[in-house]
Amino acid sequence: MQIGAKLKELRILKGLTQEELADRTELSKGFISQLERDLTSPSIATLMDILQCLGTSIGEFFNETQEEQIVFCKQDYFEKIDTELHNEIKWIIPNAQKNVMEPILLTLEAGGSTYPDNPHEGEEFGYVLQGSISIHRGAKTYKAKKGESFYFVADKKHYLTSKGGAVILWVSSPPSF
């Protein structure tokens, strides 16, 4: 771990100059500069004093949390092919079940469908990227084609079918796929 770079980042976030931090910690500006460039190492007591002035603790400072992944590519996707229902589901955001919404890329072959989903809490949104689909919700059926979207509350049994095949971006909130 680059302690110096992390100290500098914290100092700048707090809007302090090296001189101001040096004054608050009763250290020299030169020492702070050397710390930030990893040219010297502080004692534990000195590090604790600096961190206190920067509004954090040793535990928080050394807590190495993994950076949140923002962009996902094909290698991150998880796929499931259902030969019985003639569909392919790609979870395009891995572990999305821990999030508020769960997007999938759904490919329906000609004559394909999704498994009927029982009523549940939440909402469903979809955008038809290719082909056309039928949205079955309760006793009603709705049609959507390429370039159209759908949105409904998931309080009735629902599923999708496609006579000629389709590709849909489908988002469920909360996650249910």
- Say yes or no to pLDDT of 113 above 70: yes
pTM here is 0.64
Confidence band for 107, pLDDT divided at 50, 70 and 90 = very high
CA distances from 105 to 110, 147, 151, 177 (A): 16, 15, 16, 11
139-171 pLDDT, tens digit each:
999 999 999 999 999 999 999 999 999 999 999
Higher per-residue pLDDT: 133 or 95:
133
Binned at pLDDT 50, 70 and 90, residue 59 comes out as confident
Q: Which helix (H) or strand (E) holds 146?
A: none
- Looking at residue 45, the DSSP 8-state letter turns out to be H
Residue given tokens 């009763």 in the structure block: 26
Residue range 76-92: mean pLDDT, rounded: 93
Query: Does the pLDDT at position 100 exceed 90?
Result: no
How many C-alpha atoms does 32 have within 13 Å on its Cβ side? 25
What pLDDT is stored for residue 42 in this prediction?
A: 93
Angle at 15 between CA 12 and CA 17, to 5 degrees: 75
Determine contact, residues 150/159, Cβ cutoff 8 Å. no
pLDDT at residue 131, as a whole number: 98
